């Protein structure tokens, strides 16, 4: 995913500028408020990419995109978990490309300790995260170094492509298509955590899965420029702090804590419990509550209630006077945040798909 330099700077250097509300929808407000500080943000990461790859060639990790640079930023790997495409490219030689292919195909699922903004290979794992999501030229799973090496050689000999950058440099790259049901393969990896959290907090499994798909497409390395972290994109200083308080803990979860899949799913599901049992308590119809919870997971409970009234009690009263279909229509057409409007549509659709899959 290519994004503007301004957004990269905030993501790479000052993710904590996004301050302290549970409302996560108004990202543009963050950039507007902090424009005055951007001249000071001259991080080595963004400087290196700009100098080496040129303008409009910035790739950065995000919610649904894994991006890792190595070879002093001259080689990079990009996995689009939404599109199901892996692209590995280099400004160096094919040996560097070969190494990056192998390390990408055999990377693990543990994002803790992995600096996505530093140059360096992600370690090879004995339990590669992409197993089952990618196959080699023989249709086989890529499970070890020998298989990965052979596939990398095949790709370089048969699928190598080139493109020219605006700075005149030539990029050599390969693209690998993931299998058709790669999203479901990833979802299954986290079912034990989802089922445990669903039982503990009495939240529908399909809702948890629908939110995970929408938030991260089951990318364990997921981060965002709003400092949301992990599979369920929990923001440490807002939802994370609320969850810790609910659990009787002080402070907020660390980045390492939220990159642990089990803890991330627990934190995200805990927040859903808080939305239902505290912040949106009083909504009587279960379907209306579900719509409100989904919207509030993205934009905050206060933002959802204000769609109906500035007075929270009156908002609950009005919601209870309406049919669920009316609540859905209002939240998907009248919520001031376009992101929140689309979010409810996406999560509801994803949740329905997981209900049918049972």
Tokens of residue 266, six digits: 């627990």
Q: How far apart are CA 27 and CA 316, in angstroms?
A: 27
* Pairing outcome for strands 161-164 and 75-80: unpaired
Comparing C-alpha atoms, which of 251, 291, 246 is closest to residue 269? 246
* CB contact at 8 A, 244 and 251: yes
Q: How far apart are CA 302 and CA 152, in angstroms?
A: 51
Q: How far apart are CA 263 and CA 230, in angstroms?
A: 10
Would residue 215 show up in a list of annotated catalytic residues for this protein? Answer: yes
* CB contact at 8 A, 338 and 345: no
> Annotated catalytic residue: which of 215, 278, 314, 325?
215
**Which residues have a catalytic role annotated?**
215
């Amino acid at each position: 995913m290519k994004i503007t330099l301004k957004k990269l700077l905030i993501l790479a250097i000052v993710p904590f500028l996004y301050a302290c509300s549970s409302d996560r929808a108004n990202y543009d407000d963050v950039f507007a408020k902090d424009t005055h500080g951007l001249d000071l943000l001259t991080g080595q990461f963004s400087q290196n990419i700009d100098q080496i790859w040129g303008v409009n060639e910035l790739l950065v990790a995000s919610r649904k995109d894994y991006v890792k640079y190595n070879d002093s930023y001259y080689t990079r790997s990009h996995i689009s978990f939404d599109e199901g495409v892996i692209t590995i490219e280099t400004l160096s030689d094919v040996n560097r490309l070969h190494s990056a292919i192998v390390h990408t195909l055999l990377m693990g699922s543990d994002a803790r300790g992995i600096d996505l903004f530093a140059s360096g290979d992600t370690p090879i794992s004995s339990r590669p995260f992409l197993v089952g999501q990618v196959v080699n030229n023989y249709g086989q799973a890529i499970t070890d170094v020998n298989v990965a090496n052979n596939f990398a050689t095949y790709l370089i000999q048969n699928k190598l492509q080139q493109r020219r950058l605006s700075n005149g440099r030539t990029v050599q790259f390969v693209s690998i298509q993931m299998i058709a049901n790669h999203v479901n393969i990833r979802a299954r990896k986290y079912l034990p955590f989802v089922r445990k959290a669903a039982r503990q907090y009495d939240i529908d499994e399909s809702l948890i899965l629908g939110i995970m798909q929408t938030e991260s497409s089951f990318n364990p390395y997921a981060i965002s420029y709003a400092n949301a972290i992990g599979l369920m994109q929990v923001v440490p200083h807002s939802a994370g702090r609320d969850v810790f308080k609910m659990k009787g803990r002080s402070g907020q979860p660390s980045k390492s804590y939220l990159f642990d899949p089990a803890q991330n799913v627990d934190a995200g599901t805990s927040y859903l419990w808080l939305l239902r049992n505290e912040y949106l308590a009083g909504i009587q119809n279960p379907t209306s509550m579900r719509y409100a919870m989904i919207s509030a997971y993205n934009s905050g409970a206060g933002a959802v209630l204000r769609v109906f009234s500035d007075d929270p009690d009156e908002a609950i009263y009005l919601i209870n006077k309406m049919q669920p279909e009316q609540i859905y229509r209002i939240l998907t057409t009248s919520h001031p945040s376009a992101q929140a409007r689309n979010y409810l549509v996406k999560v509801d659709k994803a949740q329905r798909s997981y209900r049918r899959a049972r």
